[in-house]
Each structure stands twice: as C-alpha cells, then as structure tokens.
Structure 1
Amino acid sequence: MSGLDDLLAESNDRWSRAMRNAQDVKDLGLGQAVRTYYIRYFPAGVLVLIVAGTALGLLLFRGNPSAWPQYLALGLVLAAAGTVIGGLIYNAKKVSPAARLPSGDILFPLESEERKQINRQIAGKAPIDREHLSVARAGAVQQRKGLARLFLLMPSNLFLFASLTANWAGQAAPLAWLMLAAVAATITGMVFLIRDFRRAGRFLTTTPAF
C-alpha cells in the first residue's frame, strides 16, 4: 500500500502546485481585444500597406502593365511585414494586459496525461473535473492568450504566401500552385485557431469561477 500512497501523494502535490499557479488567473477581455484588432486596425492597416506597396511597385517597374503581379506581390510583402510588426505591438499593448497570468506555464507541474485531460475538458471532449476546475479554467485563459497571439501573427504568413503566388503567377514552374496551397493551409490553420479560441472562451463562460 505504501507504493499506492506514494503515487497519491505525488499526484496531490502536483495538483496543489498547479492550483497555486492558477490563483488569480483571469480573462480580462481577450475576445474583445482580438475583435477590436480585426475590426478596427487590421483592415485599415492592410489596405494602406497593399496600396503603398503597389504604388512603390509602379515606380520600380515604371508602370509596365505586364508587371502587375509584381506590383501586387510587393504590396502583399509590405502587408506581411506590417502585420508582424503591428501584431506584436498590439499583442504587447492590448492582448497581454487582457489576461492575468503568472509568468510560467500554469500546467507545468502536471504530467503529460493530466495536461491532456485538462485540454480535453476545455475542448468539451471530457467531463469537467470539479475538484480541479480552477486549474482547468486557468489553463483555458492561458490557452486563449497563446491563441490570440498566434491569431494576430498568422496573417503575415498568408500575405507572404499570397505575394509569392502573385510573383510566380503565369510561370511554367508549379511554384505558384505550391504557394496557393500554402495560402489555403494557412487559412485552414486560422479557422482552427478561431475554433479553439472560441471553445476555450465557451468553457470559461459555462463553468463557475472560484
């Protein structure tokens, strides 16, 4: 029995440390911060950068009509760079303060299977463990913050792949098709990010805070 007692003691110790990490963790408006970025700042910034890049392309290529894919490609490259810079700044100024979290990983004390079980609860794929609900809720906040940061930065990949698609359009090599596939993969990844972000938010709204 001593072996079983030792295992239980180790498990209790892990969960106790995780529960201490979870103290005072709170989502202070991550969803609103992300919505504000994509409604207010992202569309205007992307439009300005694409137009500016296209105008720069016209100057570089001296208005050659046959070079229009290069004009567009340059605008998309500027949009890619701008979304990285703007996303990082917005993340630091608005997204990070919208979540109260410790500096380290909340779930670090837990074993791999225990962390997976927490993630399954957040995704709605496992029954809620009421005894350790505070850890699961804190894990959901931590997950949403990480997903929000990715969601701000992923459009840069989309614009970069789109610029390469435009640059190689009409060429015999299948590079444009490969980049178009990369664009589709990036869009698919963003859809999954949105799904997971909303799932974690739904978990927080449907479980009581302690």
Structure 2
Amino acid sequence: MLSQWNRFVKRTFDVVAAALGLVCTGWLILLAAVVARWDTGLSGFFRQTRLGLHGRPFQILKIRTMRNIDGLTTTVTTARDPRITRIGCFFRRTKIDELPQLINVLVGDMSFVGPRPDVPELMEGLSGDDRVVLSVRPGITGPASIKYRNEEELLAQQANPDQYNRMILFPDKTRINRRYVEDYSLLRDLIYIWDTVAGQRSARSDELEGQPRPDVTRRAA
C-alpha cells in the first residue's frame, strides 16, 4: 500500500513530469486536435466520464479517433471497430490520442502509473477487497495496461467482445491492479513507464502473466 511519503513523491513526480510533457508536446496535442476535428467533423477532443480516486467521476481527455455511427454505442472498442477513422487508427497506434491525459495528470485526476480508469458501469461493480484499486489515482499506464497493450486486437478475435471484456479482461485487470496497489513501490512505477515507452515487457514487470488461457477464451466467446 502507498505510504504518505510515497503518495507525496508520486504526486510531485506527476506534476513535474506532466508540466514538462505539456511544454514539449502541447503543439502536437493542438495539431492532432485540429486534424481530428477535420477528420471526424466533431470536436477534436474526446471526453468521457470515468471513475477515479475514491470512485469520484472525472472527464478523461483524449484526441478523438472515431466518428459517430448510428446504432453503435458500445464503450468496448476493437481493432475492427468501423467507427475508427484511418487517421484515428494512426493516433491510436502511436498513442498520440492519449497525450491530452497529461492535463488530467496535472490537475490531479490521474497519475502517470496506476490502474487504468474505466467507465462507471464496470467500476461501480467492484466490491470487497477489489475496491482497493480506487484508493489510488488511475494511471495513463500500469501493469494491466502493459499486459493488454494489444487489447483491441484481442477483443477483435472474440465473438462477443462486450462479454469477454466484462467476464475475462476486467476481472484479470482488477487482480493485477490490486497487486500493484498492495505491493506498491516507486521503482516499479519507473519500470512500468520504461516498459510503456520502450514498447516491451521488462523482466521486472512480474505482474505480466500472459494472455488468458485458450479454454477460458473460448468459453467467454
């Protein structure tokens, strides 16, 4: 669990790194937002309600990568989602769409590392010891995010992506995030940031246990 000292150091790092990140990438965020507006015909910034620290709702910020299609309202996105534009696909592949979350980090909604914030419909179902994941700020990246870095491709292989996400992915992410909170260390945060930037798993990322077993995957599909 996080001590008061760890919380102070973690928050200080977040503020300094987010401020520097915005100075370096602010131009790219604005350019991407303009391109996204032209590409989708909607606001270049996408906002969605997620649950954060202590279960408080906040508006997560992203570069918009999808257009609206009548009848498609699912919050689960697969690699074959017809709403994703070609430019949006590039933004998602390069993670440019995630850069506005530096603002979320700076204002205190999020941290660089932590459990990925999810929609209220899923997070409100947490109970018992699982609710410990709400005791820290959600992160841009984290052990569960790294394990499922190819989540959209994995979901695209399922007959029922919504069910697979609810029954397989979300419980496994919750398990990983519980371990992150319960065994927290600042060193691990730095390792997860390195893994994210490098695009590969570190040998020290011991939460990463591979994809769900094939027999479980088939049952969920």
Question: Do the two structures share a fold, i.e. TM-score over 0.5?
Answer: no
Higher strand share: 2
Of structures 1 and 2, the one scoring higher in RCO (CA 8 A, sep 6+) is 1
Q: With structure 1 as the length reference, what TM-score do the two structures score?
A: 0.30
When normalised by structure 2's length, the TM-score is 0.29
